[in-house]
Amino acid sequence: MSDTEKAQQAKPLKVAILGWGSLIPEPAPLRIVGNWCVGGPSLKIEFSRISANGRLTLVIDQKYGSDVVTQYVESAHSEIEDAVCDLMIREGTGRKNIGVCDKHAAETRRCNHPEAFTAIRDWLLESEFDAVIWTDLKSNYREKRDRDFTLDDALNYLNSLPVVCKADAQRYIETAPETTQTRLRRFLGERGFLTIERNQHLKPHSKIRVKALEGNLSAAGKRFGIVVSRFNAFITERLLQSALDGLVRCGAKQKDLQVVRVPGAFEIPSAARTLADTKKYDAIICIGCLLRGDTAHYDVIVNEVARGIGQSAQETGVPHAFGVLTCETLEQAIDRAGLKMGNKGFEAALAAVEMANLKAVVSRRSSVVSKSPKRKSNSTTTDPSR
């Protein structure tokens, strides 16, 4: 290694991340610096990859893609491999599907789209960055559909999806960055697929306004008990840390948070009930992870855990937040522990805060109503002697 290369490795690197799809509006948990900027390399992009949930997602597609000016943002990591791992976690994919271009590297790393690599490297050489990374997934349309990608077939595929999946696929395309205009997106817009007016039959004749009671998201001054299962700790620890982060962000003090660890999910209801019976906590958060196996054990445990947590909440009057994942596969659990589907631990924490405040609001309202003077009766009393 030359002295120049050693010096370059010693100093912190500026690593750029390229984006053209959902990564731009929803980068979390990707660690980035600043905002996304238009002006990345122009690449061939299309909605030609079928995801696990049925959506057509954006990927580099040299054969069917349209020229799209990508966007870029700086990674918070100063080491290339750290930035790569960060993007792998966000995208839920392996190392081979993350493209890397290093301005100072003597050798070119292999990538899935060599033609795109040239444009990316040319852009990098003119930029302020030392390296750039991107999601390098391939189109799998022919593999999934057993036919080549066409606009008409893509529309037929989308229309064949179940209602919920179709709505999700529609939303994904509609919310893609405006700069990402592909042939399919324009085609779907022309065919009315992206402009369907939903639930027309549900429109009321007049707007009815009823004041609703709601709990806010302030955890200040409140105490929370968190029961977490040690089984599948790889997942539950991520859920726990996100739940704690959510509570602190809402204003809770660390001294007001009590974490209780139990062996597995089956033990969660018992521990939650014990905490609730003390009346020291405004809400209980239950965190665990159940993965389906080859026997009926999964179904038995899932039902008992859900029943036990619900029963504890109803009988004690203390709100319980359900942060127990019930997944078919480990991949689904990982997605729900901070990847593509958010973090259910964070969501459970917010639910606990809201329900704790809602209970307080309802209790105050009930107290006021009970103390209000009773109305005098307008009826007259008849003297029975008359």
How far apart CA 62 and CA 138 sit, in angstroms, is 10
Amino acid type, 166: K
Active-site residue (options: 104, 113, 205, 297): 297
Distance CA 82, CA 104 (A): 17
User: What SS3 class is residue 258?
Assistant: strand
Give the number of other Cβ atoms within 10 Å of residue 385's Cβ: 4
CB-count exposure of residue 46 (10 Å: 0-12, 13-18, 19+): buried
What DSSP line would sit under 270-289, residue for residue?
A: HHHHHHHHTT--SEEEEEEE
Residues 6+ apart with CB under 8 A from 351: 321, 322
d(CA 224, CA 320): 10
Are 113 and 99 spatial neighbours (Cβ–Cβ below 8 Å)? yes
Letter for the amino acid at 346?
F
CA atoms in the 13 A half-sphere facing the CB of 170:
20
Alpha-carbon distance of 228 to 264, in angstroms, equals 8
- Rounded to 5°, the CA angle 312-314-318 comes to 75
> Computed from CA positions of residues 250, 254, 256, 262, in that sequence, does the dihedral angle turn out positive or negative?
positive
Q: How many Å apart are CA 319 and CA 357, to the nearest integer?
A: 10
Question: Catalytic: 201?
Answer: no
CB 309 within 8 A of CB 352: no
Q: Which of 228, 131, 147, 174 is nearest to 21 (CA)?
A: 174
* Biggest CA-to-CA distance, the chain: 120
**Would you name the residues annotated as active-site residues?**
297
